[in-house]
Structure 1
């Protein structure tokens, strides 16, 4: 069962107790590192740089290096003491339009569920945000970090996305020279986009590389020979307009007849 992070969403004098659950999970295949000579697991030990003794998690404390090789020790209890109750809750700072925020600012997503006694205020906030087509921007202190976040309403509840600060976003290393695009090229690109326009269905997408990786592992377990697929890359060089036209024709549904234009005769 997923472990919840419990907190409070506060705006004005309203306080909503909520539980946050991670909205994503790692399904990737992970490999262990083995010794090539005998296929034994590689182990990593934590040792003290001073005495060389192997250290367990119970022997480790947090230290801040304020000068060369000089540290001040800070405990989790001391960190909690400096937090105010206000900082421990998610404080809504203001509201904004969802499309005003670049996706690059979003870090990790949580599903939000109201705790007992907070259902009415939770639903009121969700419904108001939906009606106004807005999201809430808030802050909370998690661990030793002041975390920025977006509270986003949905039809079936709300999600919270932690966010990066502006100084954590890298600038593009360089811009590019924008070439001229003709009206005809733009129309054909728009036609291609419209020919591929379908509702988003998350269940329709799969991590095909991971599926192939699992098949590779199963084949090796069963002692089968690994055969690489044939390269389907085409070496034909065609113009941008030809590529757009071919793509449009490929994506046109076979049961949809093409529109025909008829010339009107004089006097008709």
Structure 2
């Protein structure tokens, strides 16, 4: 069981729910060490103080704020623990919103909320009320030395919390939009929607895998065993100017064939079983 990273309480109105917070995700990337390419030796970094020149153990490294005028303020761990901030140990729901009203661009990290002791009954109450109303709670909470906006929602038997970026942390992406004079004609849009319909289905994350990580694992395994490297697939071809309607029509037909073949395969598997 993972360790909780935060303890506090969720409150809505006069109802308080003691909770623990757990990380809901973990990264599965392959980790590498920095090495010297000539002999494979590991690269090490030393934490050296620029004043005394001594190497500093990690436990003696504090956080310093540079005031910009030559002054440096050193903050201890206790300074962060004793912040005069209401959200430091409490998650107060300040607004309820429809889930569809929140742009996914704001979401940062996901967490599980676990009720503690007498918090189980009000936890279930909040979970059921959110699920039946189709809404989520907007909160502010202090995590990892910063206050963040967050959203609390019901998912199955759980309450989950998703930290969110502040509005000024989202960049303006208008520079990436195509020129306004470029338009798609009705026939192209209709054909594109037909292709979308052919690939439409219920989202099942279990159907997808990290192909990049799998390919990287093959390369690492080949190097460890001293065998030839796996063959590489051909890269993408240069884009060509084509008839969009014709290309989409061909795509729709190909998607139909794939679905028919998949349905036949499932039928054979069902008969065999």
Residue 224 of structure 2 corresponds to residue 221 of structure 1: yes
Equivalents in 1 of 2:82, 2:230: separation in Å?
A: 60
Cα 1:13/1:32, change in 2 over 3 Å: same
Supply the distance in 1 between the matched residues of 2:184 and 2:106 (Cα, whole angstroms).
Answer: 30
Residues 87-106 of structure 1 aligned to structure 2 (within 5 Å): 87-106=88-107
Listed one character per residue, the Cα deviations across residues 169-213 of structure 1 (whole Å, up to 9, x for unaligned) are: 111152432422222212111111111011111111100111011
1:210 aligns with 2:216: no
Change (3 A) 1:189 1:67: closer
TM-score by length of 2: 0.87
Per the alignment, in what secondary structure is the counterpart of residue 260 of structure 2?
A: coil
1:196-250, Cα deviation, whole Å (9 max, x unpaired) = 0111111111001110111111111111111432416456843211111111111
Per-residue Cα deviation, 1:115-144 (whole angstroms, up to 9, x for no partner): 221111111111111111111000122243
The partner residue of 1:197 within 197, 200, 203 is: 200
Q: Counterparts of 1:133 and 1:232 in 2: how far apart (Å)?
A: 44
TM value normalised by structure 1: 0.88
3-state DSSP of counterpart to 2:36: coil
Of 240, 250, 255 in structure 2, the residue corresponding to residue 251 of structure 1 is 255
- Could you tell me which runs of 5 or more consecutive residues in structure 2 were left unpaired when the two chains were aligned: 264-273
Assess if the C-alpha contact under 8 Å between 1:3 and 1:21 holds in 2.
yes
2:113 and 2:132 mapped to 1: Cα distance?
Answer: 19
Per the alignment, residue 10 of structure 1 pairs with 11
State how far apart, in whole Å, the 1-side matches of 2:103 and 2:144 are. Answer: 26
- RMSD value, Cα: 2.0
Aligned length: 256
Task: Answer yes or no: is the 8 Å Cα contact 1:88–1:142 preserved in 2.
Answer: no
**In structure 2, how many angstroms separate the alpha carbons of the residues matched to 1:65 and 1:232?**
48
Higher alpha-carbon deviation: 196-205 or 230-239: 230-239
Unmatched tracts of structure 1, length 5 or more: 257-268
Partner of 2:153: 152
Aligned pair in 2 of structure 1 residues 251, 157: CA closer, same or farther (>3 Å)?
Answer: same
The structure having more radius of gyration, on CA atoms, is: 1
Mapping of 1:76-87 within 5 angstroms? 76-83=77-84, 87=88
Alignment of 1:36-75 (within 5 A): 36-75=37-76
Task: Note the C-alpha offset of 1:37.
Answer: 2.8
Distance 2:68 2:145 in 1: 20
Contact 2:150/2:161 (<8 A) preserved = yes
* More off after superposition, 154-163 vs 85-94: 85-94
- Distance (Å, rounded) in 1 between the aligned partners of 2:144 and 2:156: 31
- SS class of match (1:254): helix
